[in-house]
Structure 1
Amino acid sequence: MSGTFSNVVVSIIIVNYRSWHHLEGCLQALTVIESKQISPEIIVVDNYSADGNLTIFSDRFPRVQFIKNTGNNGFANGCNVGAKKSKGVYLLFLNPDTVANGTVIKKFIAFAKKYKNAGVVSCHQKNPNGHYEKTVRVFPNLFTLFGLTRAIYRKVYKSKIKNQYLGEQVVCPDWVSGSVIFMSRSWYTQVKGWNEAYWMYYEDVDLCKRVQEANGDIVLLKDVEMIHNHGGASRLNIKTAAITKTEVLISKHVYISNRFRGLHNFLSQLLVIVNNLIFKTVLASFGIIFFFIPKLRLNLYIYLKLMTYYMHAVIRKTWLSKRSIKYMKQLNA
């Protein structure tokens, strides 16, 4: 870690890849935050957008520290790069399509100071239309890997889940979205940061799981909220959407590989493969027939990328995405 941390209360770390329009709004909100309690260090890790905007934004926002990453190495890697350069006692990881304010950050800090066991703290997120994102999130297991089985699981364990979310101001879900993650540096260090086996998606689930295994709490503050233009950072066009949606499927395999053992691992991987092959083949067929419809054409692109991934997994004997920094390190080892 660089520097001494005593003079900086909180470091805000944002990972960006060509999300300049959203990043502009995010930074405009953050750079006006100035008080005796907090004067946040703001760090933007640009995952090699290579479109000329990094220099423009560096000039427009002189208070912000911009870091040019070595490549589009994924969200987890970008977060770790930013954390390594940061000086804050606390770390706030934000998506570029979020809008925060000083009140939110003060409440995060106050809660973390009072409850040292809070390993990860987040808040309600709502889109610009005022609709809140879901807060009921359970860790993946053999019974919660798919939408239908997850619905059955929630029915069977309805009372348990209800009790978990009874708090008026604070609830403790299994995990929270990586778009807003607040944690102390000590907790970040204890769990060894973000897992770079993931290129995109499931890295937040993995982080929360490791915090929980270290006897930390995952906390969502219900009386605090932040605007999140969900998907603005990853769904730029149909080709980008195909990549990100495929990475969701890939990261599920990576999570199973990292977190499940023995028969649980084998059955889960098998079920995910069978599920993907059946449903993605059907959807891809519609994509071929109705290629002129962008949403259906997207399914064809996802199918092709997924089949390429499975062939690669067999040949390379790894579930890692070829985009992940961990895969690249293994390849160059």
Structure 2
Amino acid sequence: MKLSVIILNYNVRYFLELCLKSVVAAIADIDAEIIVVDNNSPDDSCDMIKRLFPTVNLIENKDNSGFSKGNNIGVTHAKGEYLCILNPDTVVAEDTFTKLIQFADSKDNLGIVGCQLIDGKGKFLPESKRNVPTPKVSLQKVLGNTNSYYANEVEVENTGKVDILVGAFMWLKKDVYEYVHGFDEAYFMYGEDIDLSYKVIKAGYDNFYFGDTTVVHFKGESTLRDRKYAKRFYGAMQIFYKKHFKQNAVFNAIVWLGIKLAYVMSKAPEIVETKSERSFIYTKAISQSLEEQLPQPIEITDSIQDKIEKDSMLVYDFNVLKASDVINDMKQKSTQENIVFRFLPKNSKFILGSDSATNRGEVLHF
């Protein structure tokens, strides 16, 4: 088998459904499997998978064992030459995996490959490509200087070697994952992707950022940026420093100061209220119950339009549109004023979207 797509899920049932439908389309011509590890979600994620995706290998954990352990469990069941560690709050294009296979097969010393990630408003996520977060680099980031934290030397649409990739999308050979012993389970959530990336680099492999495919990562679903997040994230960074860097009193003081500063400077998440004055729906037909819940007036079209008025909500119907076209359109329109995006998954009765990295997205049923 060529590919195993491993998705660790916790309580994001509707985003997971959209994700799985995009993955199913992307593996249509690939010898691949989908493994979902559910960390004891209180919602009906597992029932949805059994009903809609019977061929998915579903692993139901009895507790929430964290990101690292959950993914490690998934890998033990994987049969693929390649692994794709994928967040449940993502959307992949139809050709994402095909492009990654072609790229990965051409490399002799391949470590981890990451791709271009955009958020729910179509904007590029700079954590898609990062440098090693040494204490000095991390302290500079806390103080507002991100130039040395992100791998800005590689252009967004280009491909090149970078050190650190993000756990929302990680592509690597299963034997490399096993050689470095996978994710370190000392990390419950946050920091484990940095640790795995760094372990792979230290083992002599080359990590790459691959800018030729784009994946939507709604982000707010799995990374609520509140004080609890700050405490967990910088606690994870403390584990990383203790593990990978030589210790001394001065070093420990710098690390402690940086983590303390980051925690103190962290702010409560901003409540984002989106007010759209009209809707554009890319579909052939619309349910009346959905139409009644959308901002008025509504324009319905079955083709993507280039020019959209500001303060608009765009609804993409995956019954008539390809994910790759939707993603490209989001990127093009991301610079327009107050444009928000909603997604209608194929054969579903809900739309969803996310307008902020600090808050959960919106699911609207009809």
Q: Does 1:10 align with 2:20?
A: no
Q: Which residue of 1 aligns with 2:244?
A: 259
Q: Does 1:124 align with 2:121?
A: no
**Does the 8 Å contact 1:168/1:222 carry over to 2?**
yes
Once the two structures are aligned, what percentage of the paired residues are identical? 29
Bigger share in helix: 1
AA aligned to 2:261 is N
The verdict on how the C-alpha distance between 1:48 and 1:241 changes in structure 2, with shifts beyond 3 A counting, is: farther
The verdict on how the C-alpha distance between 1:20 and 1:152 changes in structure 2, with shifts beyond 3 A counting, is: closer
Q: Which residue of 2 aligns with 1:291?
A: none
Q: Which residue of 2 aligns with 1:88?
A: 80
1:147-186 correspondence runs (5 A): 147-148=140-141, 154=147, 164-165=153-154, 169-186=158-175
AA aligned to 2:88 is P
The verdict on how the C-alpha distance between 1:277 and 1:16 changes in structure 2, with shifts beyond 3 A counting, is: closer
Q: Does 1:45 align with 2:37?
A: yes
Q: Which residue of 2 aligns with 1:272?
A: 258
C-alpha separation in 2, matches of 1:35 and 1:277: 45
Q: Does 1:109 align with 2:101?
A: yes
The verdict on how the C-alpha distance between 1:276 and 1:98 changes in structure 2, with shifts beyond 3 A counting, is: closer
For normalisation by structure 2, the TM-score amounts to 0.66
In the TM superposition, residue 55 of structure 1 has moved relative to its aligned partner by 2.3
C-alpha separation in 2, matches of 1:148 and 1:193: 27
1:1-333 correspondence runs (5 A): 8-36=1-29, 38-134=30-126, 135-148=128-141, 154=147, 164-165=153-154, 169-235=158-224, 241-263=226-248, 265-276=251-262, 278-279=264-265
AA aligned to 1:66 is L
C-alpha separation in 2, matches of 1:207 and 1:40: 23
Query: Deviations for 1:236-275, whole angstroms, at most 9, x for unmatched residues?
Result: xxxx944333211211111112122222642333223542
Q: Which residue of 1 aligns with 2:355?
A: none
AA aligned to 2:25 is V
In the TM superposition, residue 233 of structure 1 has moved relative to its aligned partner by 2.5
Q: Which residue of 1 aligns with 2:286?
A: none
C-alpha separation in 2, matches of 1:76 and 1:275: 26
RMSD over aligned CA atoms reads 2.8
**Does the 8 Å contact 1:191/1:211 carry over to 2?**
yes
**Does the 8 Å contact 2:231/2:263 carry over to 1?**
no
Bigger drift between 177-186 and 93-102 goes to 93-102
C-alpha separation in 2, matches of 1:48 and 1:268: 38
Aligned length: 269
The verdict on how the C-alpha distance between 1:52 and 1:123 changes in structure 2, with shifts beyond 3 A counting, is: closer
**Does the 8 Å contact 2:27/2:97 carry over to 1?**
no
Bigger share in strand: 2
Structure 2: stretches of 5+ with no match in the other structure: 272-366
The verdict on how the C-alpha distance between 1:243 and 1:154 changes in structure 2, with shifts beyond 3 A counting, is: closer
For normalisation by structure 1, the TM-score amounts to 0.73
Displaced runs of 4+ in structure 1, greater than 6 A?
Answer: none
C-alpha separation in 2, matches of 1:167 and 1:279: 29
3-state SS of paired residue (2:74): helix
**Does the 8 Å contact 1:98/1:226 carry over to 2?**
yes
The verdict on how the C-alpha distance between 1:17 and 1:265 changes in structure 2, with shifts beyond 3 A counting, is: farther
3-state SS of paired residue (2:8): strand
In the TM superposition, residue 208 of structure 1 has moved relative to its aligned partner by 0.7
